[in-house]
Amino acid sequence: MFIPAPVQVASDTGVFRATSATSIVYAQLSLKDEALALQAELKNVLGTQPLVSYDQTGKTKGIRLAIVNIDSVPEGGYSMVIRKDHIELTAPDDAGIFNGVQTLAQLLPVPALNASARPAGIDIPCMSVTDFPRFAWRGMHLDVCRHFFPVDLVKKYIDLLARYKMNTFHWHLTEDQGWRIEIKKYPKLTEVGAWRSGSEYGPYSDRTFDSTRYGGFYTQEEIREVVAYAQSKHVAIVPEIEMPGHSLAALAAYPEFSCTGGPFEVEKGWGVFEDVFCPKEETFTFLENVLTEVMDLFPGEYIHIGGDECPKERWKTCAHCQALMKSEGLKDEHELQSYFIRRIETFVNKKGRKIIGWDEILEGGLAPNAAVMSWRGTEGGIAAAKARHNVVMSPGSHCYFDHYQGDPANEPLAIGGFTTVQKVYSYEPVPAELNADEAKYILGAQGNVWTEYITTPEQVEYMAVPRMLALAEVLWSPKKKRDEADFVRRLEHEFTALSALDVHYSKSLFNVGFKLTGSKKRGQVNVEPFATPGLGEIRYTLDNQEPTKDSPQFVTTLEQRENVIIRAALFRGDRKLGYSTSKKLSFDLATGRAVTTSPAPNERYNDGGPFTLVDGVSAGNKRVNNEWLGWKDDRVTIKLDLGEEQWVSRISIGALAEKYSWIQPPAEVEIAVSSDGVTYLVLDTPKPPSDAKNHVEFAVSVPMMTRYIRFIVKSIGHIPEGDAGAGNPPWMFLDEIHVK
Ligand code: TNX
């Protein structure tokens, strides 16, 4: 029942009975924290605490923790033997003992809610465990800037990391929207920079803002407290101070470190902003002073200096920047960014620390000793490892826990994406492109929790758990031990413990999804509810009522020909496992009919194929679902066959305008009809309104008899000046065809 799965477990017969009379003995003074951690775990279950004592002589009955040199167990690993009369936990270092204590803790029952139900003793099954980590960097990140979270949440987060043997907490402390760490030398960083006059809320496309003053920061005293807390749990904290971009909060406080001199406000909205640190001497002095205080607070090896998403607009028109580029022989602004990072690296290295930055620090030349955090895919990580730089993998595809973890229809608003717990579990941190020697530079991986759309501590937990547990196993357990079905079983068991720990985890794993496909019987939509195999039975209703244990069990395709709301949930016997989910199908003359597109949709946005255009589900305003089909082509021809000649009065197709994501509405859509599928009569060629936003409909209303309908959708070719991605071919997103 362990997460992460240990390297080796051999079960034995019998049990060790732990009671409040059991003694916990530690053989080295440095193991006191670990002994106390175990004491606390036992007290939680027993109510009274067993005795803890230091004894180097060995041979004590009870539970003994000792550092020894074991050849077979590398750093962070441990060996644990549970016998009827004693438990011995040995490891090469304190961290190993701590990790062993976490394993032992996972063998304990969940604490009873009321004291009278507490057991007098706990039977721990006899076994031998040998265990050690696959990767050295087992990380979780938390953005406390877009939204601020109190020390209590941060500690709870660290508890969770420790329970699953993760050892690195990347604390994202500065951003455009808030500076969250007290710096004594620059008090305005928190007096001004920690507060904004409102926040963006709702989907990004709405660009809606409230005007409630929002903010907060950690005092140095609080930071010290958290650092000490993390140390006691063998979690290293990597603080991030962002530069040169994502730094508007600092510039709002000290505009003199920008190119233009400001004034600036702490940002209310999400995104990437053009005002960034200007690489002048005063700025470097400021940043070095800030980093000096940061390094005093955080004793760890790595300091994260950001480096991502730094627009070069201001530098291009800044006299100081241009002169500096000339005098330093820098050929473009990317090299200027690289110069910036190198200077900071030299300073940090002089203090005996190392820098790590997002993969943009590769652009314009990598600083000599820097480690790279690969987030825009794996390319950055591959390039850095080949150049013999340390790498932490954190690709959006598998490691962004701000993405949806279930069908967006059933999830709280998130930034986008779709990263299920199973997908995280399938992640392989070492890219296939690396040879064995290069692979050594992959330190590990990290899950990122960016908080633009995460506003409460509960939601942080919801987004992080259980995906964090899947990543923990990827990073700790041997690759050959990976077994999704087994993991999901252990996870279900662990949910009980998480409830007892008052963790607000997501149950989206149990959600039922719906696959919609076309049918040979035209005008019909075939619906197949699906869930993770092996968890339970799917039960459903066709009247939008909540499914119960008595609702019909799904066994074979549900063939639909009329408006319907299918609602389904996963059951095990009488017990409903998650929440129910639903799919609403609306039928018109187009629904379920034969449809083709030429060319085929781009593979990135083609989950359900052309049938998606007539599956009875309109994509609506949201981009984040599987209902939109996407193209990057100049023109797309779509042909629909209504099956027989029909009276139609209105024909339409939807498109998406989401310009900040490079998704532009088509320039025009030619709509034509035909009775033989060969000769078409063009009815009209509607164009989008000039202020097109979100869902845009291209329609004609002409009452007539027809059988075939053709849409020729023409792209605008290039994104216009002033819009995101100007000059590039845009994306065209299309969904649903309606014929009435
Ligand atoms: C990109 S990841 C960012 C963050 C955002 C995140 C949202 C990275 C280095 N930069 O500033 O919060 O996307 O997913």
Are 94 and 75 within 8 A, CB to CB?
A: no
pLDDT digits (tens, 9 = 90+) for 75-111: 999 999 999 999 999 999 999 999 999 999 999 999 9
For residue 231, the number of C-alpha atoms closer than 13 Å in the C-beta half-sphere is 11
Pick among 2.60.120.260, 3.30.379.10, 3.40.50.720, 3.40.50.800: CATH of 8-131: 3.30.379.10
Nearest-angstrom CA–CA distance, 375 and 146: 18
Provide the pLDDT for residue 113.
Answer: 81
User: 13 CA distance to ligand 1 centroid (A)?
Assistant: 51
Domain ranges of the chain: 8-131, 137-477, 511-585, 594-739
Beta bridge partners, 540, equal: 568
Q: How far is the CA of 311 from the centre of ligand 1 (A)?
A: 14
**Residue 7 to residue 602: CA distance in whole angstroms:** 42
Q: What angle do CA 679, 684, 686 make, to 5 degrees?
A: 135
Q: Whose CA is nearest to atom 6 of ligand 1?
A: 450
Q: What angle do CA 35, 38, 43 make, to 5 degrees?
A: 125
Under 8 Å between Cβ of 500 and 192: no
Q: Which atom of ligand 1 is nearest to the CA of 306?
A: 9
Q: Name the residue of 450, 452, 460, 624 whose CB sits within 8 Å of the most ligand 1 atoms, as the mutation to test its pocket.
A: 450
Residues 483 and 485: their CA atoms lie apart, in Å, by 6
Omega before residue 187 within 30° of 0, cis: no
CA atoms within 13 A on the CB side of 737: 31
Amino acid at 711: F
Query: Ligand 1 centroid vs 160 CA: distance in angstroms?
Result: 23
Distance of CA 299 to CAs 15, 97, 169, 227, 472, Å? Answer: 42, 21, 13, 8, 24
Q: What is the Cα–Cα distance from 13 to 378, expressed in whole angstroms?
A: 46
Residue pair 403/447 in contact (Cβ under 8 Å)? The answer is no
Nearest CA to ligand 1 atom 12: 450
For 137-477, CATH gives 3.20.20.80
Q: Give me the residues paired with residue 172 across strands.
A: 143, 240
Cα of 446 vs centre of ligand 1, distance in Å, is 14
Q: Measuring CA to CA, how many Å separate 9 from each of 93, 166, 322?
A: 20, 20, 62
Closest CA relative to residue 245, chosen from 263, 259, 227: 259
For ligand 1, the distance from its centroid to the CA atom of residue 397, given in whole angstroms, is 13
Cα→Cα distances 108→38, 52, 494, 702, Å? 11, 18, 11, 71
What is the position in ligand 1's atom list of the atom closest to the CA of 358? 9
CA of 450 to the centre of ligand 1 (A): 7
Q: Are strands 391-393 and 442-447 parallel, antiparallel or unpaired?
A: parallel
Question: What's the whole-model pTM score?
Answer: 0.89
- Side-chain-side CA neighbours of residue 534 (13 Å): 8
Structure tokens belonging to residue 148: 């601020």
Closest ligand 1 atom to 309 CA: 10
**Distance (Å, whole) CA 116 – CA 49:** 16
Minimum CA distance residue for ligand 1 atom 4 = 450
Q: Which atom of ligand 1 is nearest to the CA of 308?
A: 9
Architecture category of domain 511-585 in CATH: Sandwich (2.60)
Distance 68 CA to ligand 1 centre (A): 43
151-163 and 457-464 helices, crossing angle to 10°: 20
Q: What span, in angstroms and rounded, lies between the C-alpha atoms of 739 and 701?
A: 10
Compute, in angstroms, the gap from residue 223 CA to the centroid of ligand 1.
24
How far does residue 240's CA lie from ligand 1's centre (Å)?
13
Which stretches in the chain have pLDDT values below 70? 60, 622-625
> Ligand 1 centre and the CA of 150: distance in Å?
21
Same fold, 137-477 and 594-739: no
Looking at residue 625, its pLDDT comes to 63
> Under a CB-based contact definition with an 8 Å cutoff, are residues 566 and 531 in contact?
no
Atom 2 of ligand 1, nearest CA residue: 375
Q: How many CB atoms lie within 10 A of CB 697?
A: 13
Residue among 309, 394, 399, 451 to mutate when testing ligand 1 (max atoms within 8 A of CB): 309
Nearest ligand 1 atom to the CA of 360 is 9
Name all residues whose Cβ lies below 6 A of ligand 1: 308-309, 358, 375, 400, 402, 415, 450, 452
Task: Give every CB contact of residue 133 below 8 A, 6+ residues apart in sequence.
Answer: 74, 76, 77, 99, 165, 475, 476
User: What is the number of the ligand 1 atom nearest to the C-alpha of 417?
Assistant: 14
Edge-to-edge strand list for the sheet holding 594-598: 594-598, 635-648, 704-714, 668-674, 681-684
Q: Which amino acid is at 450?
A: W
340, 365 Cβ separation under 8 angstroms: no
Alpha carbon nearest to ligand 1 atom 8, residue:
308
Cα of 377 from ligand 1 centre, angstroms: 12
Residue 331, classed as helix, strand or coil, is coil
Q: How far is CA 730 from CA 207, 662, 694, 721, in A?
A: 21, 5, 15, 12
Q: Which of 238, 308, 360 to mutate to test the pocket of ligand 1 (most atoms within 8 A of CB)?
A: 308
**Residue nearest to ligand 1 atom 10, measured at CA:** 308
| Domain spanning 594-739, CATH architecture | Sandwich (2.60)
Residue nearest to atom 5 of ligand 1 (CA): 450
Predicted local distance difference test score (pLDDT) of residue 220: 98
Atom of ligand 1 nearest to the CA of 146: 12
C-beta of residue 68 within 8 angstroms of C-beta of residue 92: yes
CA–centroid distance, residue 271 to ligand 1 (Å): 9
pLDDT for 60: 67
